[in-house]
Structure 1
Amino acid sequence: MKKALLFASLISLLLFSCGEKPSTSESQEVTHASGDATSANSVAVISTKTTTSIIDAYLAVKDALVADDAATASLKSADLVSALKNYEIAGSQANDPEELERLQVEATGIAEKLGKADIAAQRESFQALSVVMKDMLKIAGTDRTLYHQYCPMYKGNTGGMWLSTNEEIKNPLFGSSMLTCGRVQETLAVN
C-alpha cells in the first residue's frame, strides 16, 4: 500500500512539473508549465534575412528530434552545418562581429556532432547548440519571432533549452517520452 501511494505521488509530481495533462481520447491539449509566453521575458533583436537559412536548418533538426527521428536529424544537420559555414558576418548588421564569429565557429563545431546516429548524443549536442544559437541570433538578428523554451527535467533535472517558432511546447530533448515538458523562458522578438 505504501509503495503504491509513493508511486502515485511520484507520477503526480512528474506530471505536474512538466505541465503534462493526462490524455483522454477526447482531449489532446498541449500545455506548458509557465502558462503563456506573455509571462516570459521579451528581447528585441534586429530584423534580418541573413540568418534565415541557419534558422530553417536548425528548426528542421529540432522537428526531427521532436519526432524521435535520428536519421532525419542527422541528414538535416548537414544543411545546418553548411548554412553556418556559409554565413557572412560581413553582410550582417551585428554590433559585435568578433563575438558573432566566435559563436559561428562554436555553433558549427557542435552542429557537426549532430550527424551521429545515436539520438541521445544528438539531443545532447542539440541542447548545447541551442544555447549558442540563442546567443548568436541575439547578435546577428532573425527574420521571425523565436521562443526560447526550457525543460527543467532534462539531463538529470539540470535543465535544457531550445528555440521554436511556436509558443506550443514540443520538446526535442525528450521527444515522444515527454513531448510537452517545458515552458517559454524568453521571446526573441523582431525589432
Structure 2
Amino acid sequence: MKKPLLFALALSFALISCGGKTEENHEGHDMEHSSGHETEATPTASSVNNPTTAMIDAYLAVKDALVADDQVAAASKSQALVTAIQGFEAAASVEELKGKALAEAQKLASGDIAAQRESFQALSIAMKDLLKVAGSDRTLYQQYCPMYKNNTGGMWLSASEDIKNPLFGSSMLTCGKVEETIAMN
C-alpha cells in the first residue's frame, strides 16, 4: 500500500515541478513512434473518489490509441468512454456539456481513423469545457496543433506536458504546444 502512494506522490511532484513548459515543437516529420502504452490513464491517489476519474481515464485511453495510430483500439476504448460519460452524474449546469461529450464519444466507435480524429478533437473541446465546470481529478494540459485540419488547428487534453499528438499520430507525433493547464480541483 505504501509503494503505490509513494509512487503517486513522486509522480505528482514530478508533474508539478515541470510546470510552465510551453515550447512549440513542429518536428512533425520525426517518425519516432510511441509504443502506445502510455501511463497517462492511471489515476492518482487523490482521484479515487472523484466523479470525473472514469471519464478522464477512458478519454486518455482513447487519446493514446489515436497517438499509436490504432483505429481498432480507439473504437474499442471509446465504449468505456461512452459508459463513463453516461455514468457521470452531472449537475444541471453541466448536463448540456455532458450531452455534447457523449455524442462525440459515440462517434468514435465507427469510421476510419481520420473520422475518429475529427470526433476526438470535437470531444476534446466538450471535455475541456465539462472538466472546467465539473472539476478534474488531476492536472491536465490543453495541447494545440496549429497544423491540424488544413492549418485551422485542433486541441486535445493530456496528463503530460510532453506532446504526443493524437490528431496526426506517427505522421506528426510531436507537433503542438501546451496552451493551458487545467488544475486539479
TM-score, normalised by the number of residues in structure 1: 0.73
Partner of 1:74: 75
Identify unmatched segments of 5+ residues in structure 1: 1-16, 29-46, 90-96
Letter in 2 for 1:58: Y
Q: Percent identity?
A: 63
Letter in 2 for 1:120: A
- Asked if 1 retains the 8 angstrom alpha-carbon contact of 2:30 and 2:173, the reply is no
Alignment counterpart, residue 124 of structure 1, candidates 109, 118, 122:
118
- Asked if 2 retains the 8 angstrom alpha-carbon contact of 1:71 and 1:117, the reply is no
Partner of 1:109: 103
Alignment counterpart, residue 133 of structure 2, candidates 121, 129, 139:
139
Looking at structure 2, the residues matched to 126 and 61 of structure 1 have their Cα atoms a distance apart, in angstroms, of 8
Q: Size of the alignment, in residue pairs? A: 148
Higher relative contact order structure (alpha carbons within 8 Å, sequence separation ≥ 6): 1
Structure 1 runs of 4+ with >4 Å offset: 21-24
Partner of 2:44: none
Q: 1:52 to 1:70 in 2, by over 3 A?
A: same
Query: Is the partner of 2:75 in helix, strand or coil?
Result: helix
Shift of 1:179: 0.3
Q: Deviation per CA, 1:142-170, whole angstroms, max 9, x where unpaired?
A: 11000000000000000000000000000
Looking at structure 2, the residues matched to 61 and 53 of structure 1 have their Cα atoms a distance apart, in angstroms, of 12
Alignment of 1:98 onto 2:92: yes
Shift of 1:117: 3.7
TM-score, normalised by the number of residues in structure 2: 0.75
Q: Deviation per CA, 1:67-112, whole angstroms, max 9, x where unpaired?
A: 00000000000000000001112xxxxxxx3331000011101100
Query: Is the partner of 1:169 in helix, strand or coil?
Result: coil
> Within 5 A, what are the aligned runs for 1:8-19?
18-19=25-26
Looking at structure 1, the residues matched to 85 and 145 of structure 2 have their Cα atoms a distance apart, in angstroms, of 26
Looking at structure 1, the residues matched to 141 and 126 of structure 2 have their Cα atoms a distance apart, in angstroms, of 14
Larger Rg: 1
Q: 1:54 to 1:156 in 2, by over 3 A?
A: same
> Within 5 A, what are the aligned runs for 1:39-58?
49-58=50-59
Partner of 2:6: none
Q: CA RMSD in A?
A: 2.1
